Amino acid sequence: MFTFPDTPPSQTTPILSVAALNRLVRQTLEQRLPLTWVAGEISNLTRASSGHWYFSLKDADAQVRCVMFRNRNQFIDWQPDNGMQVEVRATPTLYEPRGEFQLQVDTLRRAGLGALFEAFEALKLKLGSEGLFNADKKRGLPVFPRCVGIITSPQAAALHDVLTTLQRRMPSLPVVLYPTQVQGRDAAAQIVAALHAAYQRAECDVLIVCRGGGSIEDLWSFNDENVARAIAASPIPVVSAIGHETDFTIADFVADLRAPTPTAAAELVCSHQADWLQ
């Protein structure tokens, strides 16, 4: 059998160390490939003690390792989990010590919600730049409220939770319901109308805007710009309690105080009275 003799490398051909090769590949990837949106399913998710997230993104044909550092994932206001379909914006790179190709994730969103996510972020940026989220605009709640207003649907489970808590903690405290739809095409306009009714009637010295949990689409009325501006313009302190603890809406950012649940909102508005009675 014929064999080719070993040919020594040319003196002009550089010989790279493994570390140098990996560094060159990483630099080439990061320089030649821009930030890219990639869709897939989360698997093998690990939340490290450092605060960084490590996971794989996969589809039917392939998978890729991903890392999302703490300084980026701290802005994610929902909890990713294994099996979720997501879209990530990431930089393709190489983890040099092990020579592993991976995506360095800049942001992450639930799949299929791209347009809603972009609209949410755009409005958040717009209102934030106007100072509507500033801490110096937040008012404290009255120590002894004379009347609590609730803005929600009469059929909402959240209403039952709030009323039950108020009755238990301060049974003599008057409550006024300003009824509105809390999801659907007309909900945003109705929420604004309910807010304005509360302002004009001036019966209450604190308001709770609340609804139970749901999908991002179900909660979308509370990401409406008119709703946000109506809350920001309120002459009465507003407590928001929209969805579950991990749900965040624009209404939460403009409210004077955000409660993680409707029950917690009720506890907040009458906390001092309950403590005083005890």
Q: What is the mean pLDDT of residues 233-239?
A: 97
- Segment 57-85 shows an average pLDDT of 90
User: Which is the CATH superfamily of the domain at 18-114?
Assistant: Nucleic acid-binding proteins (2.40.50.140)
Calpha distance 153→180 (Å, rounded) = 5
3.40.1620.10, 3.40.50.2300, 3.30.465.10, 1.10.1780.10: CATH of 133-277: 3.40.50.2300
Residue with tokens 């001036």: 202
CA atoms of 19 and 17, how far apart (whole Å): 5
Two structure tokens written together for 161: 């939770």
The whole-number pLDDT of residue 117 equals 77
Would you place residue 2 in the very low, low, confident or very high pLDDT band (cuts 50, 70, 90)? very low
The DSSP code for 139 is P
Domain boundaries, the chain: 18-114, 133-277
Is the Cβ–Cβ distance between 57 and 64 less than 8 Å? yes
Looking up tokens 């509370």 gives 222
Instruction: Give the tens place of pLDDT for each residue, 249-275.
Output: 999 999 999 999 999 999 999 875 545
Give the number of other Cβ atoms within 10 Å of residue 239's Cβ.
24
CA-closest candidate to residue 191, choices 215, 222, 155: 222
pLDDT band with cut points at 50, 70 and 90 for residue 67: very high
User: 86 vs 214, which has greater pLDDT?
Assistant: 86
Contact 86, 40 (CB under 8 A): yes
| Backbone phi, psi, residue 16, to 5° | -95, 145
- DSSP alpha helix (H) spans, 52-138: 70-73, 114-129
Query: pLDDT band at residue 84, thresholds of 50, 70 and 90?
Result: confident
Please report the pLDDT score of residue 113 as a whole number.
Answer: 66
Cβ atoms within 10 Å of 6's Cβ, excluding its own = 5
